[in-house]
Structure 1
Amino acid sequence: MAGPGSTSARRLGLALAWLAVLLLAGWWIAPRIELSGDLRKFMPSAQTPAQKLLIDELGEGPGSRLLLLALSGADADVLAAQSDALRARLADDPRFVLVANGGAAGLAAIPERLRSYRYLLSPTLDTTSLDATYLGDQLEARVQDLGSPVAALVEPLLPADPTLETLVLAESWQPADAPQTLHGVWFDRAGEQALLAVQTRAAGFDPTGQQDAVGAIEDAFGTVRGVSGTRLEMTGPGAFSVEVGGRTQREASRIGSLDTLVFVLLLALAYRSWKAPLLGALPLASGGLAGLAAVALGFDGVHGITVAFGFTLIGVAQDYPIHLFSHQRPGLSPWASARALWPTLGTGVAATCIAYLTFLVSGVEGLEQLAVFTVVGLGVAALTTRFMLPGLIDPAPRDVADTLWLDRAWTRRSRWPRLGVAGGLAIALLAGAVAWFAPGPFWQNDLSRLTPVPADALARDAQLRAELGAPDVRYLIALRGDDAEAALRAAERLHPTLERLRADGGVAGFDHAARYLPSTATQRTRQQRLPDPDTLRADLAAAVAASPFRDDVFAPFLTDVAAAREATPLTVDDLAGTPLAARVDGLLLRGDDGATALVALSGIADPVAVARVVDAAGAQLLDLKQASESLVADYRQRVLWALALAAVLLAATVWVALRSSRRVLRVLAPMLLTTVLVLAVLRGAGVELNLFHLVALILGAGLGLDYALFFDHAGDGRKEQLRALHAIIVCSLTTLLVFSLLAASSIPVLRAIGGTVALGVLFNFVLALLIVPRPLAATPVPRDPEVDAA
């Protein structure tokens, strides 16, 4: 017969084997996880054009990929030189599709292979003929240019472009309210900061790509700055995501370390054993890895929010081994104890899983991932607690029911008044009134309120956007077409209306794709206005004869015009790989169902008046802020319907398990009252509720259900109730401390979850104590001197 030593060694061996399996599973899962940061996975499908545009812009739009740079801390000439050097370094980097600082970037937007198309892209021929008179005026102007400070810029262009149409294009493509230019580059109004605009190839919600791009900018600036004291300031969605990601990782690491320490210390103190926290962590780790594997196998990528939320939500699973530890006592095998607890534990797990399964019908992929992660994680944690953990724990531990302080606490609790139906209804009505009538909006619809970016950083970003003349990120005009050509023609038809709006002061400026790439129809019309080779040669000869230029200088010009007359008009695909592509792609969205030309607006004085003018022209002004709010409202509506379904299914699950209306009411009452009380506290404190509060309320409800179920499971036996009380105290303390740490976070999402769940734990524990029936048997615990000393 094996002795105690060999049995203990066997249990240790099994624990190590379990740990080894978890390490192998983690090693296998890690390379198969493709983390995603695309926030669109946590948004419902768009129902309106504005919502669809908003979702597209969030991930792929130019606004989400724009980084604004400001160099300061040196004289203007030094800053200008460093700006040019930085632009030159970044322009050759494949991580960026556009780098602009007001300098050579204008000409660089027109690569050599496209310059023969300049008369098809420029509006010059819409009002002017390329005849002898026009050419003569242009050559006279060039003579003056060659005697001016711009001679070095003009002279290389003259043979192929005596009318300087390339410069006309580059100038026309500058923003209408572009910043001032000093030493050839953009500066702020005070002349103290050199400004650059950089568009990344990575999407706005590609955290890895954005971090790589930000790192490349910082490295390039480090080289350009040298030993000078110049400072680099960077704003924009990508820069913010990198900063917030780093801060979130640091906070998560700190909170995770503290959570682990709290878990270890509490379990070690509660069970007076160093083994308890180690063994208790095995089911939790098993559930986390299983949930992660299920999402990785079932979806294309695992969203970072899913991982963060998932591990927070399956924190409920830490309660499962705690209940087993607290109910274990001498004379009862761990297997028998687990078997006795399983109906209650299984009911709680099933009810919680049902609540999260309703997210599968939400139509939102992020919530579907969260449902799979949580359900699989909780299920595996519960099953390993039931069928694996009993083989590892000590079969003859100290019975926690023999603890003196616990007995005294339970005796004092028995003197408390019970909370009956009338009292519960009164609390519910009062809390409901506070929640409903509290001042301020009930729901939070503004997505920007959830950002952890400091307010001063957002204000600085807005200031730099204003300095650079960047378009308004709230208002856009959308023009739908069956294809790109139709969308471009729609933008061209709207152009005169936009010019009138700018002249009247309705907008400070506007931008659309047809400014860079006219429609095929417009290009063909301009082609027809180009003179034939013989006519152009004769007109050019007449203009040259009246100038100091030689008659053979402009042969490349004749070749370019001849090529333009015969060329196939440029399309969007022809711009691939050029700086023009970045501008056009951001303002012309193409899909399987057609194309949308966007008109970006800046300096809108009166949105209502602009909308009226645009609507009369057959277009539509879209308010992306309003679209985001309606999208949030739609999202919340889906979640609320899912929660209503979850509540019905949860109550049905408890009814099937308990088969007694009185017991069902007793178990559900603390959870329901807690939900109303938490809402009352949050609303009374002026908190506007968002999606994360709702998710946290579900988590809090699951915890409260577990507390009530185990108090109900204890029945009328005093010792069983003491064991249940011990387990619930340990569970609630662990959860309360963990989520209180989250509530102190600077990240709004974590703060919302932490504060809500911490309140839920506190209310659930107190209400469960008030609603649980008094014990019928009040047998005192024998006073053991050793126990008393302990």
Structure 2
Amino acid sequence: MSATRRLALALLWLALLALLALFVAPRVQLSGDLRKFMPAPQTPAQKLLIDELGEGPGSRLLLLSLSGEAQETLAAQSQALRERLLAARVGVDVPFKLVANGADLGLDAIPPRLRPYRYLLSPTLDTQRFDAAFLRRELDARVQDLGSPAAAMLEPLLPSDPTLETLKLAQAWQPANAPQRLHGVWFDRAGREALLAIETHAAGFDPEGQQAAVDAIHAAFDAVSANTKTKLTLTGPGAFSVEIGGRTAREASLIGTIDSLVFVLLLWVAYRSWKAPLLGGLPLASAGLAGLGAVALAFDGVHGITVAFGFTLIGVVQDYPIHLFSHQRAGVSPWASARALWPTLGTGVASTCIAYATFLVSGVDGLQQLAVFTVVALATAALVTRFLLPALIDPSPRDAADSRWLARCWNALARWPRMNATAACIVAAIAAAVVAFAPGTFWQNDLARLTPVPPAALAQDARLRGELGAPDVRYVIALEARDAEHALQSSERMIAALEGLRAQGVVGGFDLAARYLPSAATQHARQAKLPGDVELRAALHDAMSGGAFNDDAFDDFVRDVAAAREASPLTTADLAGTPLAASTEGLLLQREGHATALVALSNLRDPAAVARVAQAHGAQLLDLKQASESLVAQYRERVLWALALATVLLAAAVWFALRSPRRVLRVLAPMALTTLLILAVLRGFGVELNLFHLVSLILAAGLGLDYALFFDHAGDDRAEQLRTLHAVIVCSLTTLLVFALLATSSIPVLRAIGGTVALGVAFNFVLALLIVREPVKEIA
């Protein structure tokens, strides 16, 4: 085939890739929801944890502090920032559900349309009646109040609310451990930082929504802090996800750029041709686009971890064209070379695909995505290398077997002693002993350890949560019921016991939805105690006789009581758009046919005592830390079963291809021994193994199988051994570079993958030489 025709075919291939990219790009909806990499929750605590991870208010909360200026300046900026962010709520895309800085804990906590309901929400009627005696005491107290400094604030309330129920509710609804208020807004205990709490509409793992919210906050801050030295501190899951996303993109871009440059350089040096890097990149691009397209078509969204891990498969995919390039020689067409390599290449591809296909039965969406991406990508790369790439290769290549430096290298390696079965068993026993008896924790169950958020940022977040009086994030009481009404009723019955626990110092405080929204039964009971118009006016007349108020001073009060008496009980739907909605929805979780009332706890000192009280009221004290660890353990169990199944299937595939017990054991031995050595090194250095180490072991095993199969394919022919050595050296160097760079990443997931596979590359290369390499046949 002429050079012109080969060029035309290459351009056609590139055009088809461009068309495929145009088809795939609109269908790829990236997701950052970690729940996709979790098994289905089984226990109540696990279900609550999974809900809270993705959609709960905790995942939507952003914490802000303003510092660096005088208190008066910071307070004014806090208020201006709040007003700007609240103004941002007007529009189609509403970024914020709540913006709180302490200024909204006064009378504005109850919107005007809900104020007639104050008599149904306030506990006053549980112990009092609106009779003449009670009203007289309240009016006498109001006379005293009007002579106090608070008169300007209270006077507008009196005509409609002489008992100050609005004020009582506003005070009662302040957080149990709210920060101090200076100049009308929240400040930390030292009085140096103004504090704000913001709840976004976007979930914590919605990268686009959180990015929009963070951008809006920074824009508003820049506007209100112009020409001052004020410093903004922003923390919370959403802020962390934005920072992590940016850092991941920067690291991926840097690593990808370096990998690409070195890949091009290595292939140019290895094959002394500028065409090799270009041709070698075509199967890689084809594999990536095919894998992405398959996941996009099979699933609702493509998880970022799937993409990140999937594209590390460049370490395997790039091997296919490299083997084809290295086995070219004069007098043999590229098509003939491809046909000769295909049984070996196909065996390696099929075995690795079978290993990853086991994740399809894991029941975990993220692992299933990973399986689809990997299987489709590897199969695509192998098929285009076999059936398309030979058409583009120069039919008169340099033969790697003629390389002097390669011959010297092979002669040096040939002096290495081959590892027999006894030596392999000894190495395996030593590695197994290190794995079993190395000190330290074996498995890493703490999800928080996988976060790339710097410790200083986590400490800052914990400090701000403490200053804002945020509840304990580990323990929560959960009460299950068939609907919201029964959940509220049950939680109301716990209040007295919880108050007792607080009095005993067992808990520092608690919060529950019934504090803001009493059950309909309680509201009906309070309605029944409201007097009729005639009875109320008579009581008011008696209470005001000889007093300082006019007879018609409290007509608005009578009208509001009448409205409350006839009103339907408030529900969660009635609170939409009010500050109360944000307080209740995080503590009252509703699903169709089911509701869960939560009790948030702070400063919990005796979990056992709280658990006993919860159990006595038909509730449970949930330990979300334990729930997360058990969920990780379940996930790990599924991955281990998948690994065991993958091992059996992989061995079966190799047996089917080689049909010789000796050859099968010799090919599988480096891979098995490498797996043990990787685990021994990680455990020896005190690394706690996580789920991504396990998944990476399959990738390392695929590489080891590939090296061993090609050394087995070379047999005892010296020239073929030299070509195989050339291919494996180039493959190993490029793969080692990719994963060594990943091992330096600040992202724990990528670091785990990089370190594991880099070790696998080194061990597999050496062990394939020591175990699989045949002595060269002497020519007579």
TM-score, normalization: structure 2? 0.98
What whole-Å deviation, never above 9, does each CA across 1:280-309 have from its counterpart, x for those lacking one? 010111010011011111111111111111
Q: Distance in 1 between matches of 2:707 and 2:665?
A: 14
In the TM superposition, residue 550 of structure 1 has moved relative to its aligned partner by 2.6
Match of 1:82 among 65, 77, 82: 77
Letter in 1 for 2:39: P
Equivalence map 1:92-241=2 (5 Å): 92=87, 93=89, 94-241=94-241
Structure-2 separation of matches of 1:666 and 1:482: 61
Task: Give the Å deviation of 1:137.
Answer: 2.5
Cα distance, 1:776 vs. partner?
Answer: 3.5
Matched residue, 1:586: 586
TM-aligned CA deviation for residue 779 of structure 1: 6.0
d(CA) in 2 for partners of 1:75, 1:131: 50
Q: Which residue is 1:439 aligned to?
A: 439
- Alignment partner of 1:174: what SS? coil
Say if 1:99 and 1:105, in contact at 8 Å, map to a contact too. Answer: no
Deviation at 1:778, TM superposition (A): 4.7
Write out aligned runs for 1:112-511 (5 A). 112-511=112-511
Q: Matched residues in 1 for 2:645 and 2:546: separation?
A: 87
Secondary structure, counterpart of 1:71 in structure 2: strand
Q: Does the Cα contact within 8 Å between 1:670 and 1:704 map onto a contact in 2? A: yes
Tell me how far 1:761 sits from its aligned partner. Answer: 0.2
Residue type of the partner of 1:647? Answer: T
8 Å CA contact 2:211, 2:242 repeated in 1: yes
Contact 2:105 2:171 in 1 (8 A): no
1:595 alignment counterpart: 595
Displacement of 1:314 in angstroms is 4.6
Question: Could you tell me the percent identity over the aligned residues?
Answer: 72
Q: Which residue of the partner structure matches residue 697 of structure 2?
A: 697
Q: Which residue of 1 aligns with 2:713?
A: 713
Q: Cα offset for 1:775?
A: 3.0
Whether 1:8 aligns to 2:14 is no
CA contact (8 A) 1:314 1:378 kept: no
The aligned residue for residue 12 of structure 2 is: 17
Look up the equivalent residue of 2:772 and give its one-letter code.
Answer: V
Moved more, 576-585 or 706-715: 576-585
Q: Which of 33, 39, 44 lines up with 2:34 in the alignment?
A: 39
Aligned equivalents of 2:67, 2:703: Cα separation in 1 = 53
* 1:29-68 correspondence to structure 2 within 5 Å: 29-68=24-63
The one-letter code sitting in structure 2 at the alignment partner of 1:695 is: V
- Structure 2 distance, partners of 1:107, 1:315, is 63
**Matched residues in 1 for 2:585 and 2:752: separation?**
38
| One-letter amino acid of the structure 2 residue matched with residue 435 of structure 1 | V
1:356-386 CA distance string (max 9 Å, x none): 1110110000110111011111111111111
How far does residue 745 in structure 1 lie from its aligned partner after superposition?
A: 0.9
CA contact (8 A) 1:445 1:633 kept: yes
1:39 is matched by which residue type in structure 2? L
Amino acid at match of 1:478: A
CA distance change for structure 1 residues 125 and 664 in 2, over 3 Å: closer, same or farther? same
**Structure 2 letter corresponding to 1:369:** Q
Whole-Å separation in 2 of the counterparts to 1:102 and 1:412: 75
CA distance in 2 between counterparts of 1:84 and 1:550 reads 39
Residue 363 of structure 2: SS of its match in structure 1?
Answer: coil
Gaps of 5+ in 1: 781-790
Match of 2:682 in 1: 682
**How far off is 1:11 after superposition?**
0.9
- Among 86, 90, 104, the residue aligned to 1:91: 86
Moved more, 73-82 or 546-555: 546-555
**Amino acid aligned to 2:337:** S
Instruction: State how far apart, in whole Å, the 2-side matches of 1:251 and 1:288 are.
Output: 19
3-state DSSP class of the match of 1:70? Answer: strand
User: Is contact 1:136–1:546 with CA below 8 Å preserved after alignment?
Assistant: no
Q: d(CA) in 2 for partners of 1:458 and 1:627? A: 21
Task: Indicate how the Cα distance of structure 1 residues 69 and 476 shifts in structure 2: closer, same or farther if over 3 A, else same.
Answer: same
Render the CA deviation track for 1:242-286: whole Å, top value 9, x for unaligned: 111111111111111111111111111100111101110101110
| 1:68 alignment partner, SS class | strand
SS at match of 1:599: strand
State whether residues 611 and 621 of structure 1, in contact with CA within 8 Å, keep that contact through their aligned partners in structure 2: yes
* 2:152 maps to amino acid: A
What is the deviation of 1:472? Answer: 0.5
Which among 55, 58, 64 is matched to residue 69 of structure 1? 64
Shift of 1:84: 1.3
Partner of 1:628: 628
Answer whether contact 2:105 2:174 (CA < 8 A) is retained.
Answer: no
How far apart are 1:546 and its partner, in Å?
Answer: 4.1
Q: CA deviation at 1:422?
A: 0.7
Partner of 1:525: 525
Paired AA for residue 753 in structure 2: I
Tell me the CA shift for residue 473 of structure 1.
0.5
Specify whether residues 112 and 479 from structure 1 end up closer, same or farther in structure 2 by C-alpha distance, changes over 3 A only. Answer: same
Paired letter, 2:424 = G
Distance 2:772 2:125 in 1: 87
- Once residues 429 and 86 of structure 1 are traced to their aligned partners in structure 2, the CA distance between those partners, rounded to angstroms, is 64
Measure, in 1, the Cα distance between the counterparts of 2:16 and 2:541. 86
> What is the CA-CA distance between 1:103 and the residue it aligns to?
1.3
Give the Cα–Cα distance (whole angstroms) in 1 for the partners of residues 274 and 162 of structure 2: 86
- Identify the range of structure 1 (12-21 vs 276-285) with the bigger mean alpha-carbon deviation: 12-21
Q: Deviations over 1:186-238 (max 9, x none)?
A: 11110000111111111111111111111111111111112111111011111
Counterpart in 2 of 1:785? none
Unaligned runs of 5+ in 2: none
Give 1:85's aligned amino acid.
A
The CA deviation string for residues 561-606 of structure 1, in whole angstroms up to 9 with x for no partner, is 1011111111122222222222211111111241100100001112
With 640-649 and 139-148 compared, the bigger mean Cα shift is at 139-148
The TM-score, its normalising length taken from structure 1, stands at: 0.96
In angstroms, what is the RMSD of aligned CA positions?
Answer: 1.4
SS across alignment from 2:318: helix
SS of the aligned residue for 1:156 comes to coil
Query: Could you tell me which residue of structure 1 aligns to residue 749 of structure 2?
Result: 749
Shift of 1:551: 2.5
The one-letter code of the counterpart of 2:267 is L
Give the drift of 1:105: 4.1
* Partner AA of 1:21 in structure 2: L
Q: Distance in 2 between matches of 1:174 and 1:39?
A: 33
The worse-fitting range, judged by mean Cα deviation, of 634-643 and 102-111 is 102-111
Q: SS at the partner of 1:582?
A: helix
Please give the secondary structure, in 1, of the residue aligned with 2:477.
strand
Q: What corresponds to 1:787 in structure 2?
A: none
Contact 2:259 2:738 survives alignment (8 Å): yes
- Separation (CA, whole Å) in 2 of partners of 1:592 and 1:648: 44
Paired letter, 2:315:
G
Q: Secondary structure at the match of 1:104?
A: helix
Q: Is the 8 A contact 2:348 2:706 kept in 1?
A: yes
Deviation at 1:78, TM superposition (A): 1.0
CA distance, structure 2, for counterparts of residue 549 and residue 90 of structure 1: 42
Contact 2:65 2:195 in 1 (8 A): yes
- 1:8-39 deviation line (CA, Å, top 9, x unaligned): 12111111111121112112211121111111
